[in-house]
């Protein structure tokens, strides 16, 4: 049983990292207002949201299974308060910080209509911190860190996020929809 919990914890951690990467890249594409692979602007937004919520679900299973696995030596407090863990508290704490930010971003995103666009966009920028925290946590703590497949996967995620970050600061990444709306308001 412990073996199964451990495998589930590791598998969901890796899947969550891949989906966080996917969601970040789709978020940048959605912000640009372009169609991707035949999906219109709203299709890309929907895919971004689905990837993000699935990643959150996988993180919940990651935490639940490792909490039940005695080998991981986790306590409930480690899931929310960083750097208190019994085993390698620094790497564990970075994961906890990622979860705290992810929780904040998720709650604010679900309350988007109530908090308004300014707060939503401000808080949403925290997703740029969630991803590196999760990656460093995984490479510092994971059993599979430094295996070839995990390194190839981590490098692939890194390249995807770096490319998205680079694209995000280019003038071409301007939100086409917003530009159109602004032009119409000026007229």
Instruction: Name the residues that contact ligand HEM, by CB under 6 A.
Output: 9-10, 13-14, 16-17, 20, 59, 62-63, 66, 72, 74, 78-79, 92, 95-96, 98-99, 102, 134, 137-138, 141-145
In whole angstroms, how close is the CB of 110 to ligand HEM at the nearest point? 17
Give the CA radius of gyration of the chain. Answer: 18
Q: How distant is the alpha carbon of residue 52 from its chain centre?
A: 7
User: Nearer to ligand HEM by C-beta: 39 or 145?
Assistant: 145
Give the DSSP letter string of 66-89: HHH-GGG---HHHHHSTT--SSSH
CB of 133 to ligand HEM, least distance (A): 7
Nearer to ligand HEM, 33 or 95 (CB): 95
Beta-bridge partner residues of 36 = 39
CB of 135 to ligand HEM, least distance (A): 8
Q: Which residues contact 101 (CB under 8 A, 6 or more apart)?
A: 126, 127, 129, 130, 133
Query: Considering beta carbons, is residue 51 or 98 the nearer one to ligand HEM?
Result: 98
User: 22: closest CA among 66, 58, 63?
Assistant: 58
Least CB distance to ligand HEM at residue 152 (A) = 13
Residue 83: CB minimum distance to ligand HEM, A: 10
If the CB atoms of residues 44 and 63 are measured against ligand HEM, the closer one turns out to be 63
C-alpha distances in Å from residue 151, one per residue of 16, 24, 115: 16, 20, 39
């Amino acid at each position: 049983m412990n073996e199964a919990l451990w495998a589930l914890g590791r598998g969901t951690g890796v899947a969550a990292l891949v989906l966080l990467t996917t969601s970040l890249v789709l978020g940048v594409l959605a912000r640009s207002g372009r169609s991707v692979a035949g999906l219109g602007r709203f299709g890309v937004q929907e895919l971004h949201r689905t990837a993000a919520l699935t990643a959150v679900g996988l993180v919940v299973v990651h935490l639940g299974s490792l909490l039940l696995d005695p080998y991981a030596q986790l306590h409930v407090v480690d899931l929310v308060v960083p750097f208190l863990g019994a085993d390698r508290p620094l790497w564990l704490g970075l994961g906890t910080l990622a979860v705290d930010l992810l929780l904040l971003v998720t709650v604010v995103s679900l309350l988007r209509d109530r908090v308004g666009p300014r707060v939503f966009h401000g808080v949403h920028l925290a997703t740029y911190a969630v991803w590196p925290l999760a990656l460093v946590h995984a490479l510092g703590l994971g059993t599979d860190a430094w295996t070839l497949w995990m390194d190839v996967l981590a490098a692939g995620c890194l390249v995807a996020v770096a490319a998205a970050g680079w694209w995000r600061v280019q003038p071409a990444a301007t939100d086409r929809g917003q530009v159109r709306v602004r032009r119409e308001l000026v007229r």
